[in-house]
Structure 1
Amino acid sequence: MSDLIAIAQSTFGRASRMKALYFILIGCVLIVGAMGLYGVLSAGRAKEMMFDAALSLSLIVGMLTAMSSVFEIPRELKEQTAQLILTKPLGRTHFIVGKFLGVSLLCVYNVAIVCIGSALAIYMKYNSVDPNLYVGCALIAAEAVLLTAVGVMLSLLLRDAVAAVVLFLLFVIGHALHVLPVAFGGAFAVVGYILPNLYHTDFSVLLGNGISLPREVFLWAICYSVTYSIAVLGIAVAVFQRRDVA
């Protein structure tokens, strides 16, 4: 267990020290704040624009952070910095899970920064913040964690650059997966059970229109993300157990 925690802490610490990351996060918050300056041009809907921008930028930050997962394991194996732990009985499992937890924690951390910064910007402008913002950001963080698990698995099957492209495509397809059976026939319904169906965690339109999400729906979205992540991690561990890393 100590090895797993150490790997997660190391992964989170190294990634969180990237200076470019903080420029991106600060830029996102500034963009949200700038939306409040367009009250006239937005026909009095500047607050809604700030809300939508906050969720959209949180989603982008979460996706980009999750994408870093496809580079973590290949870099460690290339630099041969993980050879000691990989020789232990549970070393490979701890290595995979630790990498996943480290990047997942970074996803939650980054989304939280954008969320809190955006909430402060909205509060400074309107003296109130719609609680739906926090619900939306929590779902985005859950989605980013799911994408992190998929990224870890892809990094074991494909070259890192190819894995990054595939992960991005799955991100795009995942948000449109619910329309495939309608557009291409019922046969595509099966695909929705295999690929990550991000429609289960995407309620930004409803939340942006001031519609509160029922607790059961929120918990279902979180459970879907956790369950899918565990299943994908199980596959990743099984693949890595059979891989020659010498």
Structure 2
Amino acid sequence: MIKTMWTKLVRTTESYLGASARACRYCGLDANRNTGSGLGLCRRCHDRVPWIDAIRCLRCGRPDSCPDCERHSHSALYASRSAVRYDERMKEWLAAYKYRGNERLHDLFADMLHRAYKRHEADYTREGPIHWITFVPVSERKLEERGFNQAAQLAGSWGRLTGIPVVPLLRRNRDTVKQSSKNRMERLRDLEGAFSVDEDGLNRILKKSGHLPINIVIVDDVYTTGSTLNHCAQTIRDHMDANVFGLTWAR
């Protein structure tokens, strides 16, 4: 009888684990039907993702015409790419992660980042291999409120996928207002002095990389106007000879 009970327990556990392994990483429903994406999403969730597969702006990776990059020729960023369009559904996905405590989604988002990176890898490696990954920092106040920095989590998970080392290279000196609500001059004023370099991270990079041109990717969750990434890139380039790229989950 004990053997029979043990056999049933093992079968029940195997059945549960099998169902769990098949569960969609976003909605939790059965994802047994293979989407072919390798992301572990059910067909319904996968087909609702507004992937950015084709781009028109070679600098910021926008899938349609980009008047901002056309008007302003200078950028501290070498190039930036994003995985998905930031539509209403993707806003809901990000809110579930950032504001409703569903932190397990960061591994899914990192896999989506990796998909975008592999699709545009030639753009990132035009000046040679990527040497380092860093991320957009949050203020101490936001870190205390939320308990984590979503960009740091994404960078860490993506770094494990690529094997590229992740280093905290930037500090946020103060909070800034949402950049999409401002015009260009207001954004420039608001971001002035908002970021500084992390000396420990800088020394780590210079010690291991020397003073050759260093290729660095900055990770963030959403690219809106590009002002934040551009200021982060400029802060880095003020302290080292670097080609700085952006990689965001959405834009």
- TM-score calculated relative to the size of structure 1: 0.30
More helix by share: 1
More strand by share: 2
